[in-house]
Amino acid sequence: MLTGVYSINELTLASWSNVLPSRELFSQSKKWCPKCFEDWKKNNQIIYEPIIWNFKEVNICKIHGVRLKTECPYCSKPIPVLTRTSRNGFCPYCRSWLGSNDITDEIVDSKHNSWKYFVVNNIGTLLKAKSEEKTNWSQDNIVSFLESLIEKTVCAFSRCFDIPKSTVSSWFGDNHKPILQTLLKICYRLDINIIEVLSSNELHVSLISEKDYNDISRENKNTNNSKVRRKIDWDNVEEKLIGIINNKDFNTSSVREVARNLNCNARLLYSHFPDLCKKISEDHDIFIRYQKIRKDKEKRQKVLEVTFDLYNQGVYPTRRKVEAILDSNISLRRKDNYSIWKDAVKSFQ
């Protein structure tokens, strides 16, 4: 009654509890899309935290195609799901607004991150399901689907989907249902939607032969979620690394990004070429530092502009008035911004 929502059940995952275990389901701390917050504020909409941001496996905002934030950009702390001082859209520690339009660094392209988009789309579909649809969901459907997959051999299944054999066996015991993340992984590799698995008792994807399993493994080679081993041309990789280091422009990529572009694992790259990787990492650090300095400078410039503009319009540029005009990612709480403003104001007196 107090919330004004007819069925508060619909705001939770209570209706999933018979089908999916809560193990590993939610993150320990908050995640949020700064752009969503910012848009809602701009349009005078209610600031809230969609339940989909809470899922452990969800790391992007589908609407804006950006990585969800996990730390306050001002005090750098991760934010607990609920505290005594929680307020939607604000950091409970430093009280900063968590929305922002400045998301260019956070873009997650869908071509190279198909798994992330698969996860957010599939969980989204589950969340949107009407209660009538949910009556069809059952644990039995999941079990019969898995049984149809494992029909031949547990070994081949576990290898193909990269799930330990002991885990697979435990599903058919008494009380160990497969977790959401594992089901998603299987669905992703088979290119089916998880809602079909929950709702249909006739979804029998039979992998008849060893060859079928191998085909799926092979297809997965190109996806970023796969651990299938493949031969790497190390000479070619070394040449490319040296090329990156000798390039006269700023090196804008981290070792992790370089590894991704070369289609290999960052740890593996480090173990093969420790010195080259160290150099790339150092160059990248310099680039990041340079960028930060440049951005901070731009921000201070903006503070100065706004302060003078107000003054020239005959408005006394109080802290509150200046902050109201500035983009939300520029805060006078920051020491450098504050002193620029303070000095400007002093000069008017």
Q: Provide the binding-site residues for Zn ion, judged by CB under 5 A.
A: 33, 35-36, 61, 63-64, 72, 74-75, 91, 93-94, 96
Q: Can you name the residues that pair with 29 across neighbouring β-strands?
A: 80
Least distance between Zn ion and beta carbon 35 (Å): 5
Which lies closer to Zn ion via its Cβ, residue 94 or residue 205?
Answer: 94
Q: How far is the CB of 264 from Zn ion (least distance, A)?
A: 31
Beta carbons of 122 and 191 less than 8 angstroms apart = no
Which residues touch 169 (CB under 8 Å, ≥6 apart)? 154
Give min distance, CB of 248 to Zn ion, in A: 37
- C-beta of 61 vs 237, nearer to Zn ion: 61
Do the Cβ atoms of 195 and 122 come closer than 8 Å? yes
Beta carbon of residue 338, minimum distance to Zn ion (angstroms, whole number): 16
Angstrom distance (rounded) from CA 81 to CA 29: 5
Cα gap 251→128, rounded to integer Å: 43
Closest CA to 221 of 230, 232, 211: 230
Q: Which is nearer to Zn ion, 65 or 178 (CB)?
A: 65
Min dist CB 50 to Zn ion, Å, is 9
User: Are residues 176 and 191 in contact, defined by beta-carbon separation less than 8 angstroms?
Assistant: no
User: At its nearest, how many Å lie between Zn ion and the CB of residue 94?
Assistant: 3
**Is the Cβ–Cβ distance between 216 and 192 less than 8 Å?**
no
Nearer to Zn ion, 26 or 74 (CB): 74
Residue 33 and residue 64 in contact, taking contact as beta carbons nearer than 8 Å: yes
List of E strands, the chain: 60-61, 66-67
Q: Give the nearer residue to Zn ion in terms of CB position, either 38 or 283.
A: 38
Q: Which is nearer to Zn ion, 3 or 85 (CB)?
A: 85
